[in-house]
């Protein structure tokens, strides 16, 4: 049995296999010919943070696969009142077939997975958001942006940055990160990603200059400056991130045909301009839709490997 906690635990071949399976199911689904791959199965979805895309894509996804989704907010279940993670994991996994969790510390997810008897999927932690990257790379494949990709990530060194680092390291493409001073990526994640790069041909560089990172890039991406749990730092971060808004002028430094990705939710006028977000270079809504298809691929893959 496999969990899906970070891309670090997956080989290049496995990551591509999951995405290809998602693309196959997407095609079947669009043709109204998708088999009920997970007939009668229940997915538990535990949310300790807010969500639009993750909730809707997982809940619709499991339903479309012939199963049932249980939305479990920490406001409603005993976990939110202090019931231990290890007890919650054993109880829920004894009654349902797959579990998705969105939480704070990555170690909380790891503890849950350790005590779960069924596959656990990371629906975002403070450190990683790997399901988002499955959808992002699926979108790159669909737009022929995956061969010789040079990806520029501009903004906060956060869970999205770390996930891009793992994807670049595993698949062997170039990732250039630009963060303001004091908002750099986690050093341990960097060390691990660079070690993987030694064997994969991936390349990861960091700087404090967005224009240098975007120069010649084929894909540019960013994320909110204040992630969930950092609401108190909003004002201070807006000052620190001045000059980091991705807009069409910055995008002009990229390769011809450069595209823009964002996991959403986006804050217009902060990390990205309204014009870029709504303009022809932006693939954001295709990317968001692919959360559904990529995660259906993931759930079916995990079921095949138990
Ligand atoms: N991108 C993403 O995970 O969005 P939600 O927070 O809406 O789930
Ligand atoms: N970095 C953001 C991603 C939201 C999908 C957060 O953690 O809030």
Q: What is the 3-state secondary structure (H, E, C) of the chain?
A: CCCECCHHHCCHHHHHHHHHHHHHHHHHHHCCCCCCCCCCCEEEEEECCCCCHHHHHHHHHHHHCCCEEEEEECCCCHHHHCCCHHHHHHHHHHHCCEEEEECCCHHHHHHHHHHCCCCEEECCCCCCCHHHHHHHHHHHHHCCCCCCCEEEEECCCCHHHHHHHHHHHHHCCEEEEECCCCCCCCHHHHHHHHHHHHHHCCEEEEECCHHHHHCCCCEEEECCCCCCCCHHHHHHHHHHCCCCCECHHHHCCCCCCCEEEECCCCCECCCECHHHHHCCCECHHHHHHHHHHHHHHHHHHHHHCC
Name the residue with the closest Cα to ligand 2, atom 8. 227
**Which tens digits make up the pLDDT trace of 152-163?**
999 999 999 999
Q: How confident is the model at residue 25 (pLDDT cuts 50, 70, 90)?
A: very high
**Which tens digits make up the pLDDT trace of 263-306?**
999 999 999 999 999 999 999 999 999 999 999 999 999 999 99
Cβ-contact 243, 233 below 8 angstroms: no
Q: What are the C-alpha distances in Å from 84 to residues 44, 81, 89?
A: 17, 9, 9
pTM score: 0.98
Beta bridge partners of 44: 70, 99
Across residues 164-175, what is the average pLDDT? 98
Cβ-contact 2, 302 below 8 angstroms: yes
Across residues 245-266, what is the average pLDDT? 98
Annotated active-site residue 68? The verdict is no
Q: How confident is the model at residue 1 (pLDDT cuts 50, 70, 90)?
A: very high
Calpha distance 271→241 (Å, rounded): 8
Cβ-contact 224, 156 below 8 angstroms: yes
Task: Tell which atom from ligand 1 comes closest to the C-alpha of 102.
Answer: 8
**Which tens digits make up the pLDDT trace of 95-114?**
999 999 999 999 999 999 99
- In this prediction, residue 279 carries a pLDDT of 98
Q: In what order do the strands lie in the sheet with 203-207?
A: 203-207, 174-178, 150-154, 219-222, 259-262
CB atoms within 10 A of CB 116: 24
Distance 130 CA to ligand 2 centre (A): 12
Q: Given 3, 197, 263, 270, which residue is catalytic?
A: 263
In the block, residue with structure tokens 């909730």: 55
Name the residue with the closest Cα to ligand 2, atom 1. 227
Percent of the chain, pLDDT > 70?
100
- In this prediction, residue 213 carries a pLDDT of 98
Give which of 228, 220, 265 is closest to 245, Cα–Cα.
220
Calpha distance 229→221 (Å, rounded): 21
Q: Given 55, 262, 291, 293, which residue is catalytic?
A: 291
Task: Tell which atom from ligand 1 comes closest to the C-alpha of 228.
Answer: 6
Q: How confident is the model at residue 90 (pLDDT cuts 50, 70, 90)?
A: very high
Name the residue with the closest Cα to ligand 1, atom 6. 51
Ligand 1 pocket mutation pick from 46, 53, 55 by most atoms within 8 angstroms of CB: 53
Distance 228 CA to ligand 2 centre (A): 6
What residues does ligand 1 touch, defined as CB less than 6 Å away? 51-54, 124, 132, 263-264
- In this prediction, residue 61 carries a pLDDT of 98
Phi (first) and psi of residue 240, to 5 degrees: -65, -30
**Which tens digits make up the pLDDT trace of 61-88?**
999 999 999 999 999 999 999 999 999 9
Task: Tell which atom from ligand 2 comes closest to the C-alpha of 227.
Answer: 8
Distance 13 CA to ligand 1 centre (A): 26
Percent of the chain, pLDDT > 90?
100
- In this prediction, residue 103 carries a pLDDT of 98
Cβ-contact 99, 130 below 8 angstroms: no
Q: Would the CB of 227 count as within 6 Å of ligand 2?
A: yes
Distance 159 CA to ligand 2 centre (A): 7
Instruction: Please tell me the number of Cα atoms within 13 Å of 61 on its side-chain side.
Output: 27
């Amino acid at each position: 049995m496999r969990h899906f906690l970070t891309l670090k635990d997956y080989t290049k071949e496995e990551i591509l296999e999951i995405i290809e399976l998602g693309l196959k199911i997407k095609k079947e689904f669009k043709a109204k010919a998708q088999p009920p791959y997970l007939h009668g199965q229940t997915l538990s979805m535990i949310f300790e943070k807010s969500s639009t895309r993750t909730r809707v894509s997982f809940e619709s996804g499991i339903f479309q696969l012939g199963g049932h989704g249980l939305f479990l907010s920490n406001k409603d279940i005993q976990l939110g009142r202090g019931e231990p993670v290890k007890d919650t994991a054993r109880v829920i996994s004894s009654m349902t077939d797959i579990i998705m969790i969105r939480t704070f510390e990555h170690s909380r997810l790891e503890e849950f997975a350790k005590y779960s008897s069924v596959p656990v999927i990371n629906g975002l932690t403070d450190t990683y958001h790997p399901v988002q990257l499955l959808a992002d790379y699926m979108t790159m494949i669909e737009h022929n942006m995956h061969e010789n990709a040079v990806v520029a990530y501009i903004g906060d060194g956060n869970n999205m940055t770390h996930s891009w680092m793992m994807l670049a390291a595993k698949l062997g493409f170039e990732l250039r990160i630009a963060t303001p001073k004091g908002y750099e990526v986690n050093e341990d994640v960097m060390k691990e990603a660079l070690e993987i790069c030694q064997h994969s041909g991936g390349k990861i560089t960091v700087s404090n200059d967005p224009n240098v990172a975007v120069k010649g890039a084929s894909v540019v991406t960013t994320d909110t400056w204040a992630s969930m749990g950092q609401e108190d730092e909003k004002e201070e971060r807006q000052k620190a991130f001045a000059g980091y808004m991705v807009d069409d002028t910055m995008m002009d430094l990229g390769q011809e045909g450069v595209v823009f990705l964002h996991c959403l939710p986006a804050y217009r006028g902060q990390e990205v301009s309204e014009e870029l977000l709504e303009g022809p270079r932006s693939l954001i809504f295709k990317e968001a839709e692919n959360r559904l298809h990529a995660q259906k691929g993931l759930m079916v893959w995990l079921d095949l490997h138990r």
